């Protein structure tokens, strides 16, 4: 079976500090991977998606970047955090079957920028 | 541009009631639609997925319907229980290749014992 992991679970960082959030998927190969952000009281916003190693598409201009150094690893980074980067960050992958594509989410990382 | 709306934003019902959550989308050209559940501080759990060619899907006490032409989906929860309390989100997938989902804002459900 497939499993998606995210770490850390929670993170408190000062403004201006760097950020690295990691997501890994087990039990599948070449998945499409996604980073979403869920700000307090708001819906999910797609930040980045990747269809393969080194292939990153950005959905919105922002202070964040993403990388995919390995097939099942997706990293969200920032060189200098802003207060507005606070939120709940969710990694997701698409399971492909003979009939459809279904998205599954990781447990999330709660980021608080102080 | 696809927009997804969920009404109501919050709902409180007594235990045992049957209830319906609504989801509407502006562009009927979708590949499929997923309903998710999110508990506070947790990730999203996939509940049901409906392909654009399907009318409904069922899982236990949950039934999701899809009327693509009118841009509407409903999630029916039968005999609600306090454990059903959570935020329910719907999301539409426009195409199969990139798999980007467009989410509604969610409906927060409270089932009172």
d(CA A112, CA A71): 29
Out of A57, A100, A107, whose CB is closest to B51? A100
Residue B94 sits at the chain A interface (C-beta within 8 Å): no
Residue A31 sits at the chain B interface (C-beta within 8 Å): no
Predicted confidence at residue B97, as pLDDT, reads 65
The answer to whether the CB of B35 falls within 8 A of the CB of B64 is yes
Cβ within 8 Å, pair A43-B103: yes
Out of A90, A94, A101, whose CB is closest to B44? A90
Angstroms from B56 CA to nearest CA on chain A: 15
State the distance between the two ends of chain A, measured CA to CA, in whole angstroms: 38
Residue A82 sits at the chain B interface (C-beta within 8 Å): no
Q: Give the Cα-Cα-Cα angle A87, A88, A94 (nearest 5 degrees).
A: 135
Distances (CA, A) of A66 to A38, A46, B104: 17, 12, 24
Residue A39 sits at the chain B interface (C-beta within 8 Å): no
Among A6-15, A32-41, A73-82, B6-15, whose mean pLDDT is lowest?
A: A32-41
What is the full per-residue pLDDT of chain B (113 aa) written as tens digits? 899 999 999 999 999 999 999 999 999 999 999 999 999 989 999 999 999 999 999 999 999 999 999 999 999 999 999 999 999 999 999 876 667 899 999 999 999 99
Mean predicted confidence (pLDDT) in A29-57: 89
The answer to whether the CB of B5 falls within 8 A of the CB of B104 is yes
Q: Please determine, for residue A43, whether its predicted confidence score (pLDDT) is greater than 70.
A: yes
Predicted confidence at residue A14, as pLDDT, reads 97
Q: Please determine, for residue A42, whether its predicted confidence score (pLDDT) is greater than 80.
A: no
Predicted confidence at residue A97, as pLDDT, reads 78
Cβ within 8 Å, pair B34-A102: yes
pLDDT digits (tens, 9 = 90+) for A69-96: 999 999 999 999 999 999 999 999 998 8
A99: pLDDT confidence band, cut at 50, 70 and 90? confident
Closest Cα partner for A26 from A74, A58, A66, A65?
Answer: A74
Q: Please determine, for residue A61, whether its predicted confidence score (pLDDT) is greater than 80.
A: no
Best mutation target among B25, B35, B44 (most A Cβ atoms within 10 Å) is B44
């Amino acid at each position: 079976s497939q499993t998606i992991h995210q770490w850390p679970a929670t993170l408190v960082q000062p403004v201006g500090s760097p950020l690295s959030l990691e997501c890994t998927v087990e039990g599948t190969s070449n998945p499409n991977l996604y980073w979403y952000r869920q700000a307090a009281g708001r819906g999910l916003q797609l930040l980045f998606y990747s269809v393969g190693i080194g292939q990153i598409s950005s959905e919105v201009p922002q202070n964040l970047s993403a990388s995919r150094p390995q097939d099942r690893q997706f990293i969200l980074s920032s060189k200098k955090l802003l207060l507005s980067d606070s939120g709940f960050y969710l990694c997701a992958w698409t399971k492909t079957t003979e009939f459809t594509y279904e998205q599954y989410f990781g447990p999330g990382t709660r980021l608080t920028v102080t | 541009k696809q927009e997804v709306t969920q009404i109501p934003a919050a709902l409180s019902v007594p235990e045992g009631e049957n209830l319906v959550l609504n989801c509407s989308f502006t562009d009927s050209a979708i590949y499929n639609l997923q309903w998710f559940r999110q508990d506070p501080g947790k990730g999203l759990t996939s509940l049901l997925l409906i392909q654009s060619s399907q009318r409904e899907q069922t899982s236990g006490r949950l039934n999701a319907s899809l009327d693509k032409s009118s841009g509407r989906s409903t999630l029916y929860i039968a005999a609600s229980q306090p454990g059903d309390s959570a935020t329910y989100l719907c999301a539409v997938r426009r195409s199969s290749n990139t798999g980007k989902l467009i989410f509604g804002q969610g409906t927060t459900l409270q089932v009172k014992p």
